[in-house]
Amino acid sequence: MCTSSEAPVVKVLTLFPDMVRTVLETSMAGRAARQGQVRYEVVDIRDFCVDKHRTVDDKAYGGGPGMIMMAQPVVEAVESCRTHDDATVILTTPQGETFSEGLTLEFLAELQEKGELIIICGHYKGIDERARQLVVNREVSLGDYVLTGGELPALVIADAVVRRLDGVLGNSDSADNDSFTELRAGGLDCQWYTKPTEYRGLSVPEILLSGHHANIEKWRGEQAVLRTRERRPELLKDFQKPDSAKE
């Protein structure tokens, strides 16, 4: 584990630092920082350019459409902020492995162990392959589509990891009940209700008003299986169904 008395730090390398800072200062991510459970370091990749125009991209060798992020400013930006040589350095790219709850927990463990997690926001047509080879050891995608830049994926990764740190959520059991978690065996969560008991002709299921917690939890487990079957049936192969749900 990280032995430093300081909170672990999530470092985001980007061409748009103001965009990243704004999001990290809000909601749970911002509260976690204010409470001292995590720190954020936003690095402007342009600060490592070598020309007066702060150029970070150029045309691709061999021709072709689009611009490519240059290796030098990216590599030197990582080297400037990396504390541990074996720190996890994530590049957000459509070519990476799809982000998941499993990766969230993996990156959480890395953050707690090393005390730092570094995320590079890709941009333009792509990033010079030499930057990948020199400083990147993980590549992550949000899904099979392309965004303008890697800032949004980087913020998604940071949010998913930080909310899992001890004490960030008011009730840690809340995260354990989410979709894709171990409690839900990788499937979807059940439906939830709050006051009032009736709204526009729709009522809260009677079981939730019964006060019988064992029966309520059993019902929630069954509903989670049914919702998974209806919306994401491909997840059922890994879903451990309660006996009642199997029936």
Q: Is residue 25 part of a domain?
A: yes
Domain match, 236 and 114 both: no
In tens, the pLDDT along 42-51 reads 999 999 999 9
Identify whether the C-beta of residue 92 lies closer than 8 Å to the C-beta of residue 63.
no
Q: Does residue 3 form part of some domain? A: no
170 within a domain of the structure (yes/no): no
Kindly report the number of other CB atoms within 10 A of residue 26's CB atom.
10
Residue 172 falls within a domain, yes or no?
no
Burial of 237 (0-12, 13-18, 19+ CB in 10 A): exposed
Q: Tell me the chain's radius of gyration from C-alpha atoms.
A: 22
In whole angstroms, how far apart are CA 63 and each of 19, 58, 68, 153?
31, 11, 11, 28
With respect to residue 140, please indicate whether it lies within any of the assigned structural domains. yes
Of 130, 162, 194, which residue is a domain's last? Answer: 162
Q: How far out from the chain centre does Cα 131 lie?
A: 22
CB 172, CB 184: distance < 8 Å: no
Q: Which domain holds residue 142?
A: 9-162
On whether residue 50 sits in a domain, the answer given is yes
- Check: CB of residue 123 under 8 Å from CB of residue 91: no
CATH number at residue 192: 1.10.1270.20
Report whether 91 contacts 127 (CB < 8 A).
yes
Tell me the per-residue pLDDT of 77-126, one tens digit each, with 9 for 90 and over: 999 999 999 999 999 999 999 999 999 999 999 999 999 999 999 998 88
Q: Please check whether residue 112 lies inside any domain of the structure.
A: yes
- pLDDT (tens digit, 0 to 9) for every residue of the chain, 247 residues total? 444 458 999 999 999 999 999 999 999 999 999 999 999 999 999 999 999 899 999 999 999 999 999 999 999 999 999 999 999 999 999 999 999 999 999 999 999 999 999 999 999 888 999 999 999 999 999 999 999 999 999 999 999 999 999 989 865 555 556 555 565 567 888 899 999 999 999 999 999 999 999 999 999 999 999 999 999 998 887 555 555 444 4
* Residue 188 and residue 229 in one domain: yes
My answer on whether 151 and 207 are in the same domain is: no
**And the tokens for 144?**
């099979």
Same domain, 79 and 128: yes
Q: Are residues 47 and 143 in the same domain?
A: yes
> How many domains does the chain fold into?
2
Q: Same domain for 145 and 54?
A: yes
Is residue 52 in some structural domain? yes
pTM for the structure as a whole:
0.84
Number of Cβ within a 10 Å radius of residue 23: 19
Please provide residue 29's backbone torsions phi and psi, each rounded to the nearest 5 degrees. Answer: -60, -45
**SS3 at position 58:** strand
**83 close to 118: Cβ distance less than 8 angstroms:** no
CB-based contact 174:163 (threshold 8 Å)? no
Residues 102 and 157 occupy one common structural domain: yes
Same domain, 157 and 222: no
CA 72 to chain centre: 27
CATH of the domain at 113: 3.40.1280.10
**Domain stops at, among 136, 162, 188:** 162
The answer on 231 and 186 residing in a single domain is yes
Say how far apart CA 42 and CA 16 lie, in whole Å.
Answer: 9
Q: Which residues pair with 12 in a beta bridge?
A: 42, 119
Please tell me whether residues 129 and 19 are part of one structural domain. Answer: yes
Do 122 and 89 share a structural domain? Answer: yes
